[in-house]
Chain A
Amino acid sequence: MLVLQTLVFGPKHGHGIATTIEQTSDQVILVDHGSLYPALQRLERGGLIDSDWGTSENNRRARFYKLTRAGRKKLAVETSKWEKIVGAVSRILKPATEDLS
């Protein structure tokens, strides 16, 4: 889900995806760069992302990944699911803290 989200704003290469996740989460989520690739493979095989060779900022050859339409839909579904869970958990936690006060 996180990978899909980072691609919302445009195609990125593997390194870019990893650094984006780390930076955006304020280093809370540290990605093992190596384990990113199997995940990318799975997403690609599932048809959620597309990839192609391109040139990076430093003029290196890098493979760029972008979201497919199916990927966008999946992202929307996953995001709403996540928000539901988060909402539910916070509601459970909130009354407890209120009670205690």
Chain B
Amino acid sequence: MKWFGRRDADLRDEMEQHVGIETDENIARGMTPEEARDAALRKFGSVSAARETLREERPMYRLETLLQDVRYGVRSLSRSPFLTIAVILTLGLGVGLDTAVFTLVNGMLFRPRIEKNPETFVQLRPEYSEGFISQWFPSTTTLEDFNAYRTRARSVGDFSAWALARGTVENDLEQDIHLLVTCNFFSFYGLERPALGRFFDAQECENPAAGSVVVIPDEMWRARFAADPHIIGRTISLNGRPFTVVGVTPPRFVGHLKSGLWIPWSMQPVFYKGEDFFRKSDEPWLTVEGRLQPGYSVSEANAELSTILSQQDRLHPERRTKLRLTNGSFSQEPGQGLAVAGAALLWMGMLTLLLLLACTNVTMLLLSRGSARKREMATRLALGASRGRILAMLFTEGLILAGAAGLLSAYLAYRVPDILAGLSKAWPYYSVKPDWLVFTYLCCITLVAACMAGLAPAVESLRVDLAASLKGRGGWFGGMDPRSNPRGVLIGVQVAMSLILLIAAGLLARTQYRLLNFDDGLDGRQLLVVRMQSGRQASAALRHRVEQQVAMIPGVRRVSFAAALPVASANVERVKQNGALRAASVNFVTAEYFQTVSIPFLLGGPFAESGYTNGGSPIVVSEKFARSFWPGENPVGKTLEDSKGKRLEVMGVARSIGAEVVSSGDGPLFYRMLDKEGTGQMLVRVAGDPSAVAVAIRAQLREIDPEMVVACSTMRELIADWASRMEAIVGVVLFLGCVAVVLAVTGIYGVVAFSVRNRTKEIGIRVALGATHARIIRSVVVAGVRPVFVGLACGLTISFAGAVGLAKVAQEAPYAIGVFDPLIFVAGPVLLCGAAVAAMFVPARWAAASHPMDALRQD
């Protein structure tokens, strides 16, 4: 087969010769040379037509036309640079951000936190039966079972295990969570070599005497030890014992918890109050992970391991264990399924909205452009282009746009998840490699959308009434009025969607702000919260002793105990008032609580020391409670019944604290007296430097009970900590909200700009007839603003509905999202409306400034 057709010159030559031969014959027949040639040419037919057909049939023709189309496309797109950039940015941002955020959410919720071969990773979650459950951590495995798996399992190889350990590093107040690990932990997680030093060796993993070594994460090395070049070999103290640092991991390693380090598992007894689980090998404490051997599926592995486990069960009469193999992701953690599904839905909802916004934007822009090119299409058709050819050309243009946008999205999808994940220090590192499946899917969708949007005007423009189009009239957007339906609807839809996103962002941001500035007279900086966990039985005597000792520390003004902190949500109880059950929140506190936390009394006073009156329990109610249960009356002395029928007598009314306003609450708050034996958390009001007092408290507590686990921080730090967890989420949502606004505004700008350009003739005539600039501007803006209002109204309604739904979900949060914040619901629409009007203003001004002669000449 001959693939390369003969060259054009060659063919021309041949055809010329052909004509020549015929001419010769004609001359032989007696014609004059000119007549002969004319006759010959006539007989031949159209030479140029033949050449065209020949050219079209060449094998390279398709490729040539493609290249030509690309050139045309680029040229035509660069003639309207703003539009091109707007479309590329919009599509690119839309797809890219969508994928980026989804990758993050995916990484956090659905994928296991491991970078190397996540598909073969499995985590074992056994459920031991009653009596054999771990006191320490749920779903952990015993050492004997672990060894059984290691020796007998065939479907899963390469077992590794870790366990949590609490410890204070050096002179920290807070305890951090560290990991006790088996020797192969690091290679299991895909880390072959540390950044510095080495990992644990076999001796250290087996022999507790040799195991006083740690590996620290890069972040700790930099933050805590100021990147000490001599860190290897340096001794640090952990829980007061000396440990030598032998290695440092590279940055962003996913195998650890925030600010935690790694210790060989042989050192377990040190962190578990001396209980040795190597000797007491039937105590569960390990989280076991493994890799599926090739050829085995998860269910097969599950079956095999369950069999091994039931063999193990026989060693312990009455023990029955169920085994679940998970892929290690958060979503598969027992009990988290529903929460994860809810969160995922919420996120995907927002992302889809954003993507839809981007697509409508692009559609609008391209449609506007299509209408402006009607004349061009008419000319091309008149010059003889086939419809197929024009469609191919327009399609290529669409592809160029989509291709450029695709590159931008790919870049965003790659870089943004890293940036987002790094935003919050509170989170451990998640594996945020983009999920190519999702990306391809998203890409296809937007490609289809882009091409359709590119083709729709094409198809429309081809159904052209040539004469009318050449004169600049006729067609779809012929009316050139932003009131015209398709465009108006698109504007409205865009505005609605942006408003929803904006409101969501605003609500979250506001909650975050309120939370951070929540102090409300509590003076959180001077309030220490001490959480104690003692192995010993809690007793009244113990608590009394603690209270006394701590009260004697210099700087301590007041000491009290409470079940729940002032900011956190309290327990819900039902109380009976006059026989009717009502919901209320309750906190169990000691009498000094109110003074410790600086909550003033409005009426009455706190519980008396004796604590009992007339056979009932004393309670203190909050302002809000009083107003709700006994409006307009003095509640002191009044009684209620609790759900068990016990009488509750009101001793006093305390001021409502901010938490009640912030929380969506299950009811107003009241306080009951904490049992003598109950501990809860200790609240200490200090004067002077809180950290010094904290050290003293710690020392004191250690004296009383050396095994006690103590966590001590100021109220303000706690709040900041909670806030920081939400920080990144709020950041992301705010960002999405801003992007939504930008998209909506550019969309509106684009549409109005085009409509104005198309109305230049009309506007020119108006100006010539005497309209002032102001009138023109006003007419453009007013016409455009109608769909915006409709959009705002729809958006508001949907946001409101969404907020109601969110309120239900948000009750789970430790503090609540103020979902009915009027500020946001008003500011959002106003902001968006203002932006929309500003967007319309610019092209309106241009239009008004146009010279009537130019306008009229534009035809």
Contacts and interface: CB of A to CB of B under 8 A. Distances in A.
Q: Do A and B bind each other?
A: yes
Interface of A: 13-15, 32-35, 37-38, 41-42, 44-47, 56, 58, 60-63
Nearest to B13: A61
Interface residues on B, range: 20 to 34
B47 interface: yes
A31 to B, nearest CB: 9
B50 interface: yes
A41 B51 CA distance: 11
Contacts of B11: 37, 41
B50 A37 contact: yes
B49 A34 contact: yes
Contact of A14 (B2, B14, B24, B43): B14
Q: Which 7 A-B pairs have the closest CB atoms?
A: A34-B45, A34-B50, A33-B44, A15-B21, A32-B45, A38-B53, A15-B18
Contact of A13 (B18, B44, B45, B53): B18
Given A14-B15, A58-B21, A62-B18, 20 more contacts: A13-B17, A15-B21, A32-B45, A33-B45, A35-B53, A37-B11, A37-B14, A37-B50, A38-B57, A45-B2, A45-B3, A45-B5, A46-B1, A60-B17, A60-B20, A60-B21, A61-B13, A61-B17, A62-B14, A62-B21
A37 B15 CA distance: 8
B17 A63 contact: yes
A34 B57 contact: no
A66 B59 CA distance: 22
B666 interface: no
Given A44-B2, A45-B1, A45-B5, A38 B18 contact: no
B46 interface: yes
Contacts of A34: 15, 44-47, 49-50
A56 B16 CA distance: 13
A64 to B, nearest CB: 10
A14 B17 CA distance: 9
Interface string B401-420: 00000000000000000000
B345 interface: no
Nearest to B6: A41
Contacts of B53: 35, 38
A14 B54 contact: no
Contacts of B21: 13, 15, 56, 58, 60, 62
A82 B260 CA distance: 87
Contact of A47 (B1, B15, B44, B46): B1
B24 A60 contact: yes
B22 interface: yes
Interface string B29-45: 00000000000000111
Interface in B486-530: none
A14 B45 CA distance: 14
Contact of A58 (B15, B24, B57): B24
Nearest to B43: A33
Contacts of B20: 60
Nearest to B2: A45
A41 B241 CA distance: 91
A41 B5 contact: yes
Contacts of A13: 17-18, 21
